[in-house]
Amino acid sequence: MHSKSKTFRGMLRRRFLQNLLAVPAAVMLANASLTAHADSANTTGLAVTDKTVTVGILHSVTGTMAISETGSVQAEKLAIEQINAMGGVLGRKIEYIQEDGASDWPTFAEKSKKLLIKDKAAAVFGCWTSASRKAVLPIFEQYNGMLYYPTFYEGLEQSPNVIYTGQEATQQILAGIDWVVKEKGAKSFFLLGSDYIWPRTSNKIARKHIDKLGLKVSGEEYYPLGHTQFNSVINKIKLKKPDVIFASVVGGSNVAFYKQLKAAGIDMTKEKPLVLTISVTEDEILGIGGENIEGAYASMKYFQSLTNDNNKNFVKAFKERWGDDIVIGDVTQAAYLGPWLWKAAVEKAGSFDIDKVRAASPGIELKTAPEGYVRIHENHHLWSKTRIGNAQADGQYKIVYETKDLIEPNPFPAGYQ
């Protein structure tokens, strides 16, 4: 599929152009500066020439994480191609160097070093797991690189060298819990997650919030990554009869959990108990099977079924580029934002210089974002809405709720630590 799409690239480019004409060209806000600063832009010590600028893409295309990260790579490549079709950044075409993190954190560190030192990448789009981000973070800070990180994550971090285009935990969780409490009258919660930092922090935040609302947590459980047997915990859930199962199980365990939940006679469409997940995007449903998770609710910022024009164009372009049967999840969309946010910041700064791009980043807004509208906060996270989707048998989410306003990112939430 890969090579095939490459052969058609010329044709596709033209099609992108047509698509992009339909996209409101809001990212053009720095159009005026486009040529004015072009001369000084080459002197940053980065891989910038008069014609091109080089960026890095750093994800796992092999190993266990390839399952999740494939979508992000596709989204980033699509964004870069679209930007190039629109004339590039500061008049320069974006060229990318793709490196494989191989699902191995030390490899991520090695490759990020290579991208920054050898390739002088002007920006790096990449990483997925918190562990890989933690591994590359000191390198980005030491060599002053710029990382656009797409995954929803646990927060507790704010680096000048990272723009977090996914949601941090409070953005994702609080709205979701508020919604099930208000709309579904939930009184008790069972917190279940894979055993690592993200589910643990997420559940900590969820627990504090549930306590604040005066409601009950009837259980909290963690299973090792890759665990495939959930019958015991399902029995426990049956015994405790919580109103809501709040699930942050990840990876292959997800598939096992939902299949076994269904087989144990818990019909999620009956919402007794209701399943609220923060980890299952459309990508994961592909592996779980829509019929096995039908009726569950997910709380995140993006669903493929969003009906705004930005998203329609995005989904169309994505399918044209990567095939019709592809699905787009929350992280994929967040990864797509990365190159656009970088472009906007570069154009605002009028330079590729990392320090200038960083200084220009807060306040950058993207009206063309598939999720609607996003803006970069002072703390390098994004203002975004949170939505609740109801999983359908066809593997898509039906959006049943979205927050009225953008939610402020708060990576160090007071009262939730």
Binding string to another protein for residues 210 to 249, with x set by CB under 8 A, is what?
A: ----------xxxxxxxxxx-xxxxxx-xx----------
Which parts of 63-82 interact with another protein (CB under 8 A)?
Answer: 63-64, 66-67, 70
The nearest distance, CB 409 to another protein, in angstroms, is 17
In which residue are the tokens 């710029």 written? 146
CB nearer to another protein: give 81 or 294. 294
131 contacts another protein (rule: CB under 8 A): yes
Instruction: Give the one residue of 262, 348, 380, 385 binding another protein; rule: CB under 8 A.
Output: 262
Bridge-based pairing state of the strands 124-126 and 147-149: parallel
Q: How far is CA 78 from CA 84, 129, 318, in A?
A: 10, 21, 7
* Residue 263 found at the interface with another protein (CB under 8 A): yes
Q: How many CA atoms lie within 13 A of 234 on its CB side?
A: 17
Nearer Cβ to another protein, position 38 or 286?
A: 286
| Residue number, 325 or 405, with CB nearest to another protein | 325
Q: d(Cα 224, Cα 353) in Å, to the nearest integer?
A: 42
Q: Please, are residues 269 and 294 in contact by the beta-carbon 8 Å criterion? A: yes
Q: What gap in Å lies between CA 341 and CA 366, rounded to an integer?
A: 7
Nearer to another protein, 33 or 158 (CB): 158
Of positions 30, 80, 94, 102, contacts another protein by CB under 8 A: 102
Nearer to another protein, 291 or 378 (CB): 291
Q: Is 260 in the site for another protein (CB under 8 A)?
A: yes
311-350 binders of another protein (CB under 8 A): none
Q: Give the closest residue to 281 by CA, choosing from 321, 234, 335, 235.
A: 335
Q: How far apart, in whole angstroms, are the C-alpha atoms of residue 138 and residue 285?
A: 34
Q: How far is the CB of 260 from another protein (least distance, A)?
A: 6
Q: 215: which DSSP letter?
A: -
Q: Which stretch binds another protein (CB under 8 A): 34-42, 279-287, 346-354, 377-385?
A: 279-287
Regarding 6 and contact with another protein (CB under 8 A), the answer is: no
> Quick one: tokens of 200?
């643990």
Residue 295 binding another protein, by CB under 8 A: no
Alpha-carbon span 94 to 120, nearest angstrom: 13
> From CA 159, how far away is CA 136, in angstroms rounded?
12
To another protein, the closest distance from the beta carbon of 61 in angstroms equals: 5
